[in-house]
Amino acid sequence: MHTTHILIANAQRARYFERHLPDHSLIELADFAHTTSTLPQRIHQAHASHSIEETGKGHGRTGHAGTQFEPHTEVQDKERRSFARQLADYINHEVTEKRCTLLVLIATAPMLGDLQPLLSYEALQVLRKKISKDFSHFSGIELKRQVETALT
């Protein structure tokens, strides 16, 4: 018998469900929250704590004088990738422990892009569907209905 697990996620929240047959009910196994309430403070601290020398002042490839900076990565992107790592670790563990035999990911496009490369080989083998949608604001009957529609 297959045990289908469904992750519903965006950059701030993720919920992990087990889907039961024949009624396709969703049993919540885990709820993850990744708050970014300190984000403005972190951005301010990051900009205030680095001088130009620390952020990559140097000469370009041609040897001419000038300033060359590292590519800028948004703090929000780093936060989302950190959250994706946490989710992938949880999913990988569930698959390793044989609690999940089929996996469905329903997440925002950026989260799917960050999450999939972090999944183990075993998790990728049980991954049946990826859906780029944000269902994080649904609950109860409406969540079940949205999941049913997405999976058909």
In a domain, 113, yes or no: yes
In a domain, 44, yes or no: no
pLDDT at 79 over 90: no
CATH classification at residue 108:
3.30.420.60
In a domain, 45, yes or no: no
In the chain, the number of structural domains is 1
pLDDT at 71 over 60: no
In a domain, 70, yes or no: no
Mean pLDDT to the nearest integer, 3-17:
94
What is residue 2's predicted lDDT score, i.e. its pLDDT? 80
In a domain, 29, yes or no: yes
What is residue 19's predicted lDDT score, i.e. its pLDDT? 93
Domain that holds residue 12: 4-37+75-151
What is residue 68's predicted lDDT score, i.e. its pLDDT? 57
In a domain, 145, yes or no: yes
Kindly report, residue by residue over 98-150, the tens digit of the pLDDT: 999 999 999 999 999 999 999 999 999 999 999 999 998 999 999 999 999 99
Burial class from Cβ neighbours inside 10 Å (0-12, 13-18, 19+) for residue 59 reads: exposed
In a domain, 59, yes or no: no
In a domain, 64, yes or no: no
What is residue 66's predicted lDDT score, i.e. its pLDDT? 53
